[in-house]
Amino acid sequence: MLEIKIDEKDKEILRILQSNCRMSTKAIANKLNMPVTTLYSKIKRLEHLKVIKAYNAILDKKKLGKGVTAFLLVSFYYKNKERGNVAHHELAEKIARFPEVQEVHFISGNWDILVKIVVESVDAVGKFVIERLRTLEGVEKSITMVVFDSKKETLEINI
């Protein structure tokens, strides 16, 4: 993967945008003591290079009735007797398409995939695992960990 050149001003811009992406370009430029046009060009460059992938609102899941988070460890079988090899990336993409799924990661160790879901209840976790996840061809087994409480959740990257 090609490393992108990021200078100190770029890092300052990214820190500000991570904490408040709604701050105006003028306010950021004033804070960083730089011309608005320069700041605008730097932001557009970072967007073009896909360093900035998106601007999102972070929602309160509990207030929206989605108060249960669970992490699922998933193992898949490598061969299907009738169809041959199971395409792991295709299986991960199928899992990622479920609306409850927030994250899908290939991992090392005894399990193959880590999945994060956010749903309305523990019953909904069970229903997801039984009726959706385990019905996908290639899923061999899974283990579910329900989150009791969270002390930190962030999308910010330490720059």
Per the model's pLDDT, the better-predicted residue between 84 and 5 turns out to be 5
75, 137: one domain: yes
Q: What is the pLDDT of residues 12-59, one digit of tens each?
A: 999 999 999 999 999 999 999 999 999 999 999 999 999 999 999 889
42, 75: one domain: no
Please state, as a whole number, how many other Cβ atoms lie within 10 Å of the Cβ of residue 43: 18
How far apart, in whole angstroms, are the C-alpha atoms of residue 78 and residue 42? 46
How many angstroms separate the first and last alpha carbons of the chain?
19
pLDDT for 88 equals: 85
Where helices occur in the chain by DSSP H, the ranges are: 8-19, 25-32, 36-48, 88-97, 122-127
129, 77: one domain: yes
42, 79: one domain: no
pLDDT for 2 equals: 66
* CATH at residue 18: 1.10.10.10
How far apart, in whole angstroms, are the C-alpha atoms of residue 9 and residue 32? 8
30, 88: one domain: no
How far apart, in whole angstroms, are the C-alpha atoms of residue 101 and residue 116? 6
Residue 1 has pLDDT above 70, yes or no: no
- Give residue 89's domain range: 68-146
Q: What is the pLDDT of residues 47-60, one digit of tens each?
A: 999 999 999 988 99
7 contacts: CB under 8 Å, gap ≥ 6? none
pLDDT for 3 equals: 78
* CATH at residue 116: 3.30.70.920
Determine, yes or no, domain membership for 38: yes
In angstroms, the Cα distances linking 151 to 45, 102, 148 are 34, 18, 10
Collapsed DSSP state (helix, strand, coil) of residue 89: helix
44, 73: one domain: no
Determine, yes or no, domain membership for 73: yes
pLDDT for 113 equals: 96
**Confidence band, pLDDT 50/70/90 cuts, at residue 77:** confident
74, 129: one domain: yes
**Confidence band, pLDDT 50/70/90 cuts, at residue 79:** low
Number of domains in the chain: 2
Collapsed DSSP state (helix, strand, coil) of residue 113: strand
pLDDT for 112 equals: 94
Q: What is the pLDDT of residues 80-138, one digit of tens each?
A: 566 566 678 999 999 999 999 999 999 999 999 999 999 999 999 999 999 999 999 88
